[in-house]
Amino acid sequence: MMPRRKSRYVLLVAFVMVFMLYQVFKNPERDATGYTGNLKPSEPEKGQNAHKEPAKPPTANDSASNKHLNNNPPPDHEHPHDQEEDEPEQNPQKQTAKPTVKIPQLKTEKAKSAAPTETLSGPTLSIHAPNEAVEVTRKPEVTKAPAKPLDEDIHAKNPPGRPDLDLLESQSTSTSQIHWHKVSEHFPVPTDEIIPLPTGKPKDIPKIQYAFKPETESVKEKREKRLALVKAEMERSWGGYRKFAWMHDELSPVSGRFRDPFCGWAATLVDGLDTLWIMGMKEEFDAAAKAVKEIDFTFSPTRRDIPVFETIIRYLGGLLAAYDVSGGKKGGYEMLLDKALELAEILMGVFDTPNRMPILYYNWQPQYASQPHRATTVSVAELGSMSMEFSRLAQLTGEDKYYDAIARITNAFEDLQNRGTAIDGIFPEQLDASGCNRTAEAIAYQEAQAAAASASAAAARLSEPKGHEPVAAEAKRAEADAPLAQETALAQGNGSEPEDVNLLARRAVGVDKDGEPVVENAKDIDKKQAFPEPKVNEQPIYPGNSGRKPSPTTPDKSSWECIKQGLAPGGWSSQQYSMGGSQDSTYEYFPKARFALAYAIETLEAVKKWLLYRPMVPKERDILFSAKVSTSGDPENDLRTEYEVTHLTCFIGGMFGLGGKIFDRPDDIEIAKKLTDGCVWAYESMPSGIMPEGASVVPCASTQSCPWNETLWWEHLDPSADWRGSQIKVWEERQREKKKQQQDELRKQSVERGKTDLTGSNSAEKSIEEEAAPEKKDPLADIHVPKDEPKNLGSAKKTEYPAPEPGLNKSPSNVDEHLLKKRDPAPPTPQDPRQGSAEEAASNSLKDKLDLNNAGNAGSVSNDAPVSGGIVGKIKIEEEAEVPDPKPQSHEEFVKEKLELEKIPPGFVNINSRRYILRPEAIESVWYMYRITGDPEWQEKGWRMWEAIIKATRTEHGNSAVDDVLSEEPQPVDEMESFWVAETLKYFYLLFSTPDVISLDDWVLNTEAHPFKRPV
């Protein structure tokens, strides 16, 4: 029953709520100006409002009217139509009718003509026909509303990047789209400074491809059979894409769905165009080429930024390659080059930076594309993997601006290489491409602060001596001397004006802006002070900063000036160097791009010196891999090496082979064979026959000889082997000490038991007297029975302790083994029952305390069990159980368990990523080795790889990435990346095609396997 006092409060609250509800329903006209975003207005009753006009679609005035917040009514003199729709009629019947509230329903085709009041709350959008220009009233650059004063437009008013408002927009209307359009450049290249495309006859390059001899009929039959199987797999994958993911980026081959990770511009379609042509699937190519015309590169339904690297290698490269392989101007597919130009015009905006280094995640929407940008930290691969695509576009169109864009990047790499990196010939994984030396700026700024403070102090010393003045008075004097301090600071040649000199003067005398005393030194200066930010309307836009309000006016270019520098290592800690992800494709392009040939040799030499290693594998197979190294700038002394094996790095075999042929370096071709064979070994070592994404192995001490050493392999599997051994020794010593203590205690107890036997009768009599004495407290409260108490106790009562086991004597050598493992015993405390026998008292009390279901449980625990809070015999144990002291795991036990659980094959130390995502790099190098050496053994190795991949990845609608290559039957993950049709299937097909198909002497392939025609 509720207490009387509480019930009064409940009644009071209920009364207030009822009164408030009454006031709401008494004034229904408030709904006309209240928040209605989540409520559907009530429908008129039959016979009412018959004269009311049908609902009209929203107009421009409707959109403009919604600039008011929902909780503020619009002016009465505006929008008479809105008043007619929203204001209640002066009808007594309607006023007395009960207001109804309906839950909003999802819009259907029939509901499209609903009244404007049924839309979601917030600004509405004008809807136009598809061919009409779309006017979005909330977007500042397209609104017809007059421009606001600058001081009223400081904060963001729903720019792109506000997912909540953009989602609201997408729900309100599906026809409102923001498209990219060309904007004026902020940092254009003068026409006379554009770097022109090289002209004249290209430099001759030695023959790359092996001079194949005519094949026999049996060899031809075998090759063509394999070729047909590869083509059939392409037809299956393409059929699945055509059926379930047409015009989307990627197919989900298990579920029959699609994915759009790349702006939704049909990545698989564009990426696979040249593969269709090369495999003779001309009808599919024709349909896909015509579908390319429907791709709108000026709009993305899925992303607000363009991933520039992926877009260039997949889309731009795919379009140009498809144009080339289909015959160019004579092929009849001019639309492919047209779409490439359309995309290139959009991508040229990424180079509009002060130093022309690109923005690699480009906000394409006009609000941000029109703002000035500066490059930031970039990866080597992203920055350097544009040269082939833009060079080919410049060759096909004759437009020098495309070549100029990437030539400046190439020059920046050359400048960095000439200045030197920690490892000459290769570049750190992350680079600062901003063009600004922030460190120098910080130093200059701090020097300006110090100069101003020093000038202020000097001016103070020149004044006449005065008596003591408070701190505030000193600050005022410093303000008076500020002009002198400013002149002194500027006279020292600083390139930029320092911070407010008055503030610097205040800091010099120890007060802040408000005149309050402070204690500050150079270490206390906030890091933000070292980088003065530009004004609000001059603020640069950086990637990931999409929520910032675009500048309503043209920014002052002076705010973008800084202490200039070229490319520099990014970050402040160690630098990483490798041929793996984030670095690979830039080095791949060096031997492929004619203007980068000079850098290729330096790269090859650096890789051989610092990165290549031989792994220790069974059967002493002579293979090589490329490692990842880290250094803080002194690799001779602080180099740290990670002996990795990654699928992405497998391209390096083809790179060395290509460089060996171009530069006539036979040793590099032998290295290329060993590098490629290393990836083949990685495939063959896995239970599934497929190489994992990432792993690590044991390095050899010498590249000349490296026999298999299982002991050494185990040491790498368990780097803590020495520690484990020391822990076992400590544990063994602890056990010896413990056993010795137990034996000593048992001897002591044996002596005590002898004394007890001599006084047994006296003890018995005393025990009887104590048992007869009444006791008020709980009979179990003070009972203390140690676990180590020997079973043969002469003075104990039979009802209290179990009888001794047969054959047990008092000799320590004949004591049960479990007694030697327990802690030191303590003498027992006898029990004094209140009534009845001790056995009944103990049993009944335990039932009460432990709430046992039956009394039989009380004696069910073994006397030998080391328990705490339980029962030994029929006596409660209050002493805590002894903490187990398990034996530490030995090195051998640890390694066996790791091998069993992780299924690590011999030679590997760790499998960092067990996935296979249909990658092409391994088969890419196998194809290069076959075309360069002519050795048919590479075809056999490639075919074994093919069989393993198809067995593991084939699904009903295509081929899927798999989760665990260490399993004989890995499970699909329902992803088919576009490079499966663009690269992997293409390289397998080319491996078994005739050598004239995409000959290495006539074509050069980009990092996405798109072939470009070599200029004649």
**Identity of residue 179:** H
Non-local CB neighbours of 292 within 8 Å, separated by 6+ positions: 266, 269, 270, 273, 319, 335, 336, 339
The answer to whether the beta carbons of residues 854 and 822 sit under 8 Å apart is no
Query: What's the rounded Cα separation, in Å, for the pair 594 and 488?
Result: 54
Query: What's the rounded Cα separation, in Å, for the pair 381 and 589?
Result: 10
Which two structure tokens, joined as six digits, stand for 684? 């063959």
Residues, the chain, total? 1016
Among 660, 558, 677, 545, residue whose Cα is nearest residue 601:
660
Query: What's the rounded Cα separation, in Å, for the pair 695 and 911?
Result: 4
Non-local CB neighbours of 830 within 8 Å, separated by 6+ positions: 767, 770, 800
CB neighbourhood size of 903 (10 A) = 16
Query: What's the rounded Cα separation, in Å, for the pair 33 and 45?
Result: 22
CA angle 902, 908, 914 (to 5 degrees): 55
Query: What's the rounded Cα separation, in Å, for the pair 788 and 864?
Result: 9
Q: Look at the block and give the residue holding tokens 């520099």.
A: 568
- Tell me the three-class secondary structure of 639-698, residue by residue: CEEECEEECHHHHHHHHHHHHHHHCCCHHHHHHHHHHHHHHHHHHHHCCCCCCCCEEEEC
DSSP state, residue 201: P
Sign of CA dihedral 285, 289, 294, 298: positive
DSSP class per residue in 301-355: SS-SEEEHHHIIIIIIHHHHHHHHHTTGGGGT-HHHHHHHHHHHHHHGGGG-STT
Per DSSP, what are the bridge partners of residue 697?
A: 908
- Tell me the three-class secondary structure of 549-603, residue by residue: CCCCCCCCHHHHCCCECCCEECCCCCEEECCCCCCHHHHHHCCCCHHHHHHHHHH
Query: What's the rounded Cα separation, in Å, for the pair 624 and 644?
Result: 11
Cα 658 to chain centroid distance, Å, stands at 34
CB neighbourhood size of 992 (10 A) = 23
**From its phi and psi, is residue 857 left (phi > 0), alpha (psi between -120 and 50) or beta?**
alpha
Decide: residue 604, CB within 10 A, 0-12 exposed, 13-18 middle, 19+ buried. buried
Sign of CA dihedral 426, 430, 432, 437: negative
Which two structure tokens, joined as six digits, stand for 663? 């530069």
711 is in an annotated binding site: no
Among 614, 624, 626, residue whose Cα is nearest residue 578:
626
Query: What's the rounded Cα separation, in Å, for the pair 289 and 335?
Result: 8
Query: What's the rounded Cα separation, in Å, for the pair 877 and 873?
Result: 10
The answer to whether the beta carbons of residues 832 and 779 sit under 8 Å apart is yes
The answer to whether the beta carbons of residues 267 and 288 sit under 8 Å apart is no
Query: What's the rounded Cα separation, in Å, for the pair 960 and 962?
Result: 6
Annotated binding site: 1007
Annotated binding site for Ca(2+): 1007
